[in-house]
Amino acid sequence: MSKLIINIKQLTQVRGKDISFVKAERMSELPSISDAFLFIKNGVIADFGKMSEIPNFGDLETINAKDKIVLPAWCDSHSHSVFTGNRSDEYMQRIKGATYEYIAKNGGGILKSSNQINSISSDDLYEESKKRIKSLICQGTGALEIKSGYGLSYDSELKMLEVISRLKKSLPIEIKSTFLGAHAVPKNYKKEEYFNLVINKMLPDFVDKKLVDYVDIFCEENYFSADDTMSLCKRANELDIRVKIHTNQFNSIGGIKAGVECGVLSVDHLEVMTRDDINSLKNSNTMPVLLPGCSFFLGIDYANAKDLLSSGIPFALASDFNPGSCPTGNMNFILSLACNKLKLTTQQAINAATINGAYAMGLSDKTGSITKGKIANLLITEKIDSIDDLPYYFGDSLIEKVLIKGEEIS
């Protein structure tokens, strides 16, 4: 199946095969081709260039993108999008002054979502999650990482990972599965007992069942420590599984240093960072992942993206879609937030939400840029004046068409 997009006003995020992520000093650059074409064959980007140099591809399906911009679909490297129910009651509690920590200590938060997961069947969880993720795809998400972590028991974590595995097979986008058993400590366990279950029983069993692409931990006060993070990394390394970690959301307790020393793929959140944290990230291959949607919804500090950039540290943007602290997976809104609150340029934000996001889930060889041989996961905008319109119209979606593997999604 072949398809041709012609008269593209601006073909954006054009990269060579040798670029796996965009370095900090290059994040202000967004290579583009004006008045362009793009040829798709068998779901892959086969060719592109200037309209003045377009080859004769013969008679095939053609999309006229006059006055429209074409760019890669969003790569959302941090989500908890398999869940059931919601936590709108906690939202109202926070409106009245309760903190995230207070709600968690009183049976809400992650533990509430865990109770909801425990009470739903696998089939119902699959159908509810599938509907939710289909909506994300229609909004422009072309690659998605999904974490477990609301099960907090062997059977319920297994249920979540099996649902994610089913979603991988039934949905057209690239999906990565992350085991987040170390998300919180269930009430019927002491921390040491539960953590031992996670790293010595759940993790090896789930890896053996081929349900795990990555493993994660919530490194935060009252949850899991930097030493716990090191222990998880050691066990994951023995099983040949890469690690991604939640850290520095509310406190700096050594999670970033531990993660970098262990060579984790990404460190996510980073709303609170010290100079030591910044220094740990310098010259590492660990990708920071910033989650402005969480800061927006909880009313907490935003990650200091400008400090990262001035220190030569690149980063990705992701949604953190979850029922408690960010009940949206709309990456168009995340892009606007990043520009408005993190003070990023459109170019910096798009780099963070596409190719750097792909790197943060091990997919930069497949998606995240306009590159020959990569999957044709593409966004075609409405007729717009410039790329800056995307974050500017923060309440609207300016995406007219979403192509996944070259096929239009509706």
Q: Convert the pLDDT of each residue in 212-221 to its tens digit.
A: 999 999 999 9
What's the mean pLDDT in 74-93?
94
Looking at the DSSP bridge assignments, the partners of residue 64 are 6
Tell me: do 21 and 116 sit in the same domain: no
Which token pair is 208?
């053996």
pLDDT (tens digit per residue) in 170-218: 999 999 999 999 999 999 899 999 999 999 999 999 999 999 999 999 9
pTM for the full predicted model: 0.96
Tell me: do 182 and 251 sit in the same domain: yes
Which token pair is 183?
């998300």
Q: Is residue 11 part of a domain?
A: yes
Q: What is the pLDDT of residue 104?
A: 84
Task: Please say whether the beta carbons of 9 and 71 come within 8 A.
Answer: no
Q: How confident is the model at residue 105 (pLDDT cuts 50, 70, 90)?
A: confident
What is the distance between the alpha carbons of residues 336 and 341, in angstroms, rounded to a whole number? 8
Tell me: do 156 and 220 sit in the same domain: yes
Kindly tell me the sign of the dihedral angle through the C-alpha atoms of 93, 99, 101, 105. Answer: negative
3-state SS, residue 8:
strand
Q: What is the pLDDT of residue 155?
A: 97
Q: How confident is the model at residue 7 (pLDDT cuts 50, 70, 90)?
A: very high
Which token pair is 129?
């999650």
Q: Please give the residue range of the domain that contains residue 194.
A: 75-359
Q: What is the pLDDT of residue 1?
A: 80
By CB atoms closer than 10 A (0-12, 13-18, 19+), residue 36 is: buried
Tell me: do 231 and 259 sit in the same domain: yes
pLDDT (tens digit per residue) in 241-254: 999 999 999 999 99
What is the distance between the alpha carbons of residues 204 and 183, in angstroms, rounded to a whole number? 17
Residue 166 contacts by C-beta under 8 Å, 6 or more apart in sequence?
A: 126
Number of domains in the chain: 2
Task: Please say whether the beta carbons of 143 and 174 come within 8 A.
Answer: yes
pLDDT (tens digit per residue) in 122-167: 999 999 999 999 999 999 999 999 999 999 999 999 999 999 999 9
CA 304 to chain centre: 18
3-state SS, residue 341:
helix
What CATH number did the domain enclosing 309 receive? Answer: 3.20.20.140
